[in-house]
Structure 1
């Protein structure tokens, strides 16, 4: 009998525990199994070689990328079409190396070759990539190197060019030498290369330039030593100039003897001559690595240290928790407990290397709750962890009570960091109910369900200048007609509720968004008859009234001044600056600026950023937390990451905007994107950069213009050019090429096209002139119908073209394979 009871009890216990196990599996489906620290970097690095000098360190991607976005470095190849490379495998076994040469637009592979000879020396793998097929001189291609390492494929990208007289080694030697002299404190040696004057800032290590003093460039009283040496990266290189960027780390000793680390970025723009090397431009930015062991808590706040102007920080509504990003690390300070938590970092405390410190990523704090919980993004190239070698946007949730970080979704992309950053800046928002995430990528607004990772396209094919979002991302507005200067409906969506409000105007009017002041939409209304779109990039949209509408649809402000029109509005924090014009007859003339202040955006002065000055570190940034900090020794925590079964990846559908866009690259990175060539050229001229289109074709380059061009052969000009026809549509039909409206550009900028062998049509008050050449003192111009060109002084030419509005037209003459 007892035996039967025992058996029954045993069976019941088995059923009970089995049920508990099954129910537990159901309840906990998708929940974390454990927590762990982020895994270290594993992937190899590849370095290019130029006459024995290492340059262009390449980081590998797990997936093949869109080659038209991979513009991070440029590598010159030898006359015999060979290129030496060095692979640092670290602990990974490399079994195969192949390479492809691809046209810059990504449309054609000209070569796909396996490297058969790999030599190992001192732990490095050396190889020579020998191109078998000819490539065009002076034309950039994409080189894709594929490694088979650790049983998987990795992809590495750099642009390549074959061209005589590039002097790459001389540029590399100059940049390396300048850096070394600065570190060694040799102020006299660099004095002849710089342009020290009153415009240089000698009070802040965060940013110095060619106008700073030689003592400031040599680190003044900081007295640093090299912690991590730079590997130069060539960004632009032509017959005339070169742009090189270097990233490295330095260390210094504090007054109390503690070690401080600093990330340093340097930008060199140089010109080579047979007589000497000229440093045309130089900038350096320095950011201190935040270290809680280095007396960072002071009575008036958190001493972030040497930092840039735009420290990314956010607090909860009650100002109890302050989160901030410094030198690629995300931190949070709990005011009440005095705890400092390092929420996220790719940098390891020990054994950190070039893979951890790769700066092709950024972080965005989305929200901080009253309990200290936080949503944040890490976007760009993933240095290590489960997404090592991937490009995308990771949505993370920090649980303050559990001291853990959970990945909610990972949106993978094939874009470079620069393009992805522009998209994230346009829109990235986690809803208040924490169930949805919205992001704009390549003109598409996507919604992601953070529970199921389901993807939804919310708005499609948005064009540049046709949408805006609020600073928080909660409000998003776009023109329904998708036309910047010809729309009558502005749609405003609350991304928390998905409710959409329509703002409309009459049939004789047009409207466009200016931006948001906090959550209030700012838009303007213009009469259709006043709008002038004759020249792209120089369009005139004179807004007779400017309106500010809050999130409830209520009008906050109606700005209208008699006979005065707003042509542009720039929003900076709580100030809206208005560019205005007055109407005289049928023409518009410049008027004074005006301003609208958003008083609701005022913050208490006890919170936010301030600075302090010391002799050794000069200007330091302080984050004020609203009260005096008494405990100077913080308790430091480093949350662990939750590990889940399965993937939380979200794959976006392949899409590419059909809109022609122009990309300005300056100082080694993507600076801005425009819908018009002339506005892009004006920006590139200001920033000393270049302009490329969506296919990576060069549109314009600063500094790559010949000193003179003898008169181009008039007989070879297309007939429509010799006729002086400036109609864009007719030119495109006749030429079969991309025609550029360069209205508003300077004469010096448009002479670049003449330098490239293409004539430029220019408007004057007496008709059209064809610019067919120039020298140091003159332009060479031709009247339509004439056979003989004439010389005209440069200053007189500038005045003549300016008087007619600087209206220029030319066309691209693409190189054919």
Structure 2
């Protein structure tokens, strides 16, 4: 008998089978978890309503300025929304509408404009009734009349603090009350049934536009008085005095209009800017600018076949469409919309507007930038500036979103915080924002090129400290061209942000290159011969480019498409407008004197390609002129039917998606303020002054300090204390002029010795007047540089090899200049002097403290 023995325990075969089942189970569980996590729906929400309190400051009887709160401390030097004029007792009256927000404490702080000196810092007692808090205080008598100070109000709620920023001034001789009364009269009369009296103050021009979206002092009386528009004002006007001086006052009114359109309520935001001068005889309206824009909703948009009527708005609105012209996304009045003609839907993709009558909802200190769109309507966009509501309410920054047209949701991808105001952020906002197909994001912030991997939430600085003049960005934002040096370089680096590939365009022997701009995705760069580099009469280095090249860089080789050069002419800069390249040129004579030459242009014969969606304007009986978007033609016999209005969902990111980027540039920057807006941020002083002069603005630097104003006194007596130093009495005219300039400033050095050792007029002044900012004003007009004479500062004017004079005074028809060779003041007519200095290249130098 054959015996069969069994092992004790579970048989091996069974163990194997169990093991396989366990592995399958574990793998199944892991797979299930992965699938569950991937497919787990993100929390979709809607844009929340504003929650922060508003602060209102009352002054001059019935004027009020409303302030909006920040949940983090901002850079107060850039918070310049308004100036509150104090009365003779320096009283400040404050009202806080807490909006159901718990307020535990209220305090104020007064600082010098440069933030370096703290005048006072005190807690405030307040009374409260029905959510309205009132408080008042008397500003300390340490403040000087006609000098601006920063006022920072802080609301405390538990552990949270909310900050409110404005400026204060105790004006003297500025006639602010009379000027405000006139502005209110003008505003009310324009809205009244009879505005005939306003004809005295305007300057109609036949070339002015005929719409209500943008009205100026050159518009006709019908436009000034709103034409056939039958709207009424909702609530009070918010007043902001933006510039106060004895020469003029600039102020801004912000208000809301409502119009009934066949039972539908339409809302329009309006911004009205004045610049007014007071004299004993009358008031003069120096400039007037009014914008009016419709708040779009399902009640205020209309459709006719393939035409979308979006009402009163800027006809130069930002928009993108798919290639077939059936979907268009556009920005209107701070909100983003997408119209899908095929699906018959209009979607409000992003908006802070909850209740149009809530000033927090329609606060206009933000902007939206479209980055791209595909055929389905999926797109990437950026919201930047002050966040009126939502998870970043009260913050200022840059928010990147991705809208998925299939899922019908916008997803927040990253938020970049900023401590600068919206106006500064907007003026500095780089053209370089690009998101690749695989979620790599590039952005230039304050001269720092930042790379972000949106999948892994990692960031890296690719380069820092770039000035505006060192780089250029293509129209598609895909290509970046930059140089390592500030002025010129022996090579230009090219980077394709989509692929990450880069290459160089290299200069020939003895030559240097500079990236200037892009025409679409074609690079425009300049070439100079190194031996052409020279200095002007002020000692500044001039880089005259003899040739301009337009190159196709998309192929990775910098293939030349065309070149421009003309004998005897040099290019100093270019600008592009409507597919035309405008060249700034100079000529240099045999003695090295640089003079401005007539500009030239290069026109792109191809021009802008036909767009799938067309934006145009049509007449309207009530609204004068409205903007329409013409989509692709409907199919034959196809009817549009009903269009649905929809608000897609919003997916918010968590705190790990927020980053902060510090400024990496330490160079002086100039900001041009026109009314309440910053129209330009640049490191080019002459460009800033020219922009301010053309638009009746002011120039500040980043300390901040006033650098230039359009307004100046009608005359300036000859500045006293001008005398050539004894050690320079036998020197050249240039040395004597500089010596006299320094003596007037309280300095006495051997200027001729410094010049003979290789110093220039600018370097001599910079090394001697260390507590002053030396300003190279070369290229500006005589009229523009007289602003510094108006301040009591002489202006050095180059008049040829080793010769110069000082401009020390002026009146309505002439200037007074100091001749250093005779040590006498002389007079010259403004016309003659302007031509005379221009013949030497308009080389001027001055300084401010």
TM-score by length of 2: 0.87
Which residue of the other structure, out of 291, 294, 297, is the alignment partner of 2:297?
Answer: 291
CA displacement at 1:320 relative to structure 2: 3.5
Q: Is the 8 A contact 1:97 1:147 kept in 2?
A: yes
CA displacement at 1:438 relative to structure 2: 1.4
Partner of residue 690, structure 2: 682
Q: Provide, for residues 262-283 of structure 1, a one-character-per-residue CA deviation record: whole Å limited to 9, x for no partner.
A: 2211110011223322111001
SS in 2 for 1:232: strand
CA displacement at 1:140 relative to structure 2: 2.1
Residues 1:244 and 2:251 are matched in the alignment? yes
CA displacement at 1:48 relative to structure 2: 1.8
CA displacement at 1:460 relative to structure 2: 0.7
Q: Provide, for residues 709-744 of structure 1, a one-character-per-residue CA deviation record: whole Å limited to 9, x for no partner.
A: 354333660456997987100111112122111122
Partner of residue 730, structure 1: 764
Q: Provide, for residues 674-733 of structure 1, a one-character-per-residue CA deviation record: whole Å limited to 9, x for no partner.
A: 223233222211111111111011111111435333543336604569979871001111
Which residue of the other structure, out of 167, 170, 182, is the alignment partner of 1:162?
Answer: 170
Q: Provide, for residues 497-543 of structure 1, a one-character-per-residue CA deviation record: whole Å limited to 9, x for no partner.
A: 22121111024111111212222222121222234453599945323
Summarize the Cα distance change of 1:292–1:801 in structure 2 as closer, same or farther, 3 Å threshold: same
Partner of residue 625, structure 2: 619
Instruction: Tell me which moved more, 435-444 or 51-60.
Output: 51-60
Which residue of the other structure, out of 331, 334, 337, is the alignment partner of 1:328?
Answer: 334
Partner of residue 307, structure 2: 301
Partner of residue 11, structure 2: none
Structure 2 counterparts to residues 68-83 of structure 1, below 5 A? 68-83=77-92
Partner of residue 339, structure 1: 345
Residues 1:312 and 2:346 are matched in the alignment? no
Partner of residue 559, structure 1: 563
Q: Provide, for residues 461-489 of structure 1, a one-character-per-residue CA deviation record: whole Å limited to 9, x for no partner.
A: 001211111122111121122x12x2122
Q: Is the 8 A contact 1:579 1:594 kept in 2?
A: no
Summarize the Cα distance change of 1:31–1:111 in structure 2 as closer, same or farther, 3 Å threshold: farther
The structure with the larger Rg is: 2
Which residue of the other structure, out of 463, 468, 476, is the alignment partner of 1:472?
Answer: 476
Instruction: Tell me which moved more, 453-462 or 770-779.
Output: 770-779
Which residue of the other structure, out of 118, 123, 126, is the alignment partner of 1:114?
Answer: 123
Partner of residue 756, structure 1: 791
Summarize the Cα distance change of 1:532–1:141 in structure 2 as closer, same or farther, 3 Å threshold: farther
Summarize the Cα distance change of 1:423–1:295 in structure 2 as closer, same or farther, 3 Å threshold: closer
Which residue of the other structure, out of 481, 498, 501, is the alignment partner of 1:499?
Answer: 501
SS in 2 for 1:522: strand
CA distance in 1, matches of 2:282, 2:27: 82
Residues 1:703 and 2:706 are matched in the alignment? no
Partner of residue 9, structure 1: none
CA distance in 2, matches of 1:591, 1:50: 51
Q: Is the 8 A contact 1:721 1:761 kept in 2?
A: no
Q: Is the 8 A contact 1:783 1:789 kept in 2?
A: yes
Q: Is the 8 A contact 1:538 1:743 kept in 2?
A: no
Summarize the Cα distance change of 1:352–1:295 in structure 2 as closer, same or farther, 3 Å threshold: closer
Gaps of 5+ in 2: 1-20, 724-742
SS in 2 for 1:541: coil
Summarize the Cα distance change of 1:588–1:153 in structure 2 as closer, same or farther, 3 Å threshold: closer
Partner of residue 420, structure 2: 415
Corresponding pairs, count: 792
Residues 1:218 and 2:225 are matched in the alignment? yes
Summarize the Cα distance change of 1:551–1:18 in structure 2 as closer, same or farther, 3 Å threshold: closer
Which residue of the other structure, out of 752, 756, 774, is the alignment partner of 1:739?
Answer: 774
Gaps of 5+ in 1: 1-11
Summarize the Cα distance change of 1:589–1:748 in structure 2 as closer, same or farther, 3 Å threshold: closer
CA distance in 1, matches of 2:586, 2:843: 21
Partner of residue 524, structure 2: 522
Summarize the Cα distance change of 1:173–1:785 in structure 2 as closer, same or farther, 3 Å threshold: same
Partner of residue 645, structure 2: 636
Q: Provide, for residues 230-278 of structure 1, a one-character-per-residue CA deviation record: whole Å limited to 9, x for no partner.
A: 2111111111111111222212244x45333222111100112233221
Structure 2 counterparts to residues 68-467 of structure 1, below 5 A? 68-115=77-124, 117-120=125-128, 123-132=131-140, 134-149=142-157, 152-201=160-209, 203-254=210-261, 256-348=262-354, 350=355, 352-433=357-438, 435-467=439-471
Partner of residue 8, structure 1: none
Q: Is the 8 A contact 2:775 2:845 kept in 1?
A: yes
Summarize the Cα distance change of 1:539–1:289 in structure 2 as closer, same or farther, 3 Å threshold: farther
Q: Provide, for residues 122-177 of structure 1, a one-character-per-residue CA deviation record: whole Å limited to 9, x for no partner.
A: 64322123334613333322211111136520011112223312333222222222
CA displacement at 1:312 relative to structure 2: 0.5
CA displacement at 1:584 relative to structure 2: 7.2
Which residue of the other structure, out of 48, 70, 93, is the alignment partner of 1:39?
Answer: 48
Partner of residue 487, structure 1: 489
Summarize the Cα distance change of 1:638–1:648 in structure 2 as closer, same or farther, 3 Å threshold: farther
Q: Is the 8 A contact 2:255 2:270 kept in 1?
A: yes
Partner of residue 53, structure 1: 62
SS in 1 for 2:293: strand
Summarize the Cα distance change of 1:643–1:128 in structure 2 as closer, same or farther, 3 Å threshold: same
CA distance in 1, matches of 2:648, 2:595: 60
CA displacement at 1:63 relative to structure 2: 0.4
Instruction: Tell me which moved more, 788-797 or 178-187.
Output: 788-797
SS in 2 for 1:212: coil
CA distance in 2, matches of 1:408, 1:440: 17
Summarize the Cα distance change of 1:179–1:548 in structure 2 as closer, same or farther, 3 Å threshold: same
Q: Is the 8 A contact 2:325 2:612 kept in 1?
A: no
SS in 1 for 2:412: strand
CA distance in 2, matches of 1:562, 1:744: 22
Alpha-carbon RMSD = 3.0
CA distance in 1, matches of 2:598, 2:707: 33
Summarize the Cα distance change of 1:180–1:536 in structure 2 as closer, same or farther, 3 Å threshold: farther
Partner of residue 802, structure 1: 838
Q: Provide, for residues 596-625 of structure 1, a one-character-per-residue CA deviation record: whole Å limited to 9, x for no partner.
A: 4163x6433653212222333222222122
Q: Is the 8 A contact 1:474 1:495 kept in 2?
A: yes
Partner of residue 600, structure 2: 593
Instruction: Tell me which moved more, 798-807 or 399-408.
Output: 798-807
CA displacement at 1:562 relative to structure 2: 5.2
Instruction: Tell me which moved more, 228-237 or 161-170.
Output: 161-170
SS in 1 for 2:237: coil
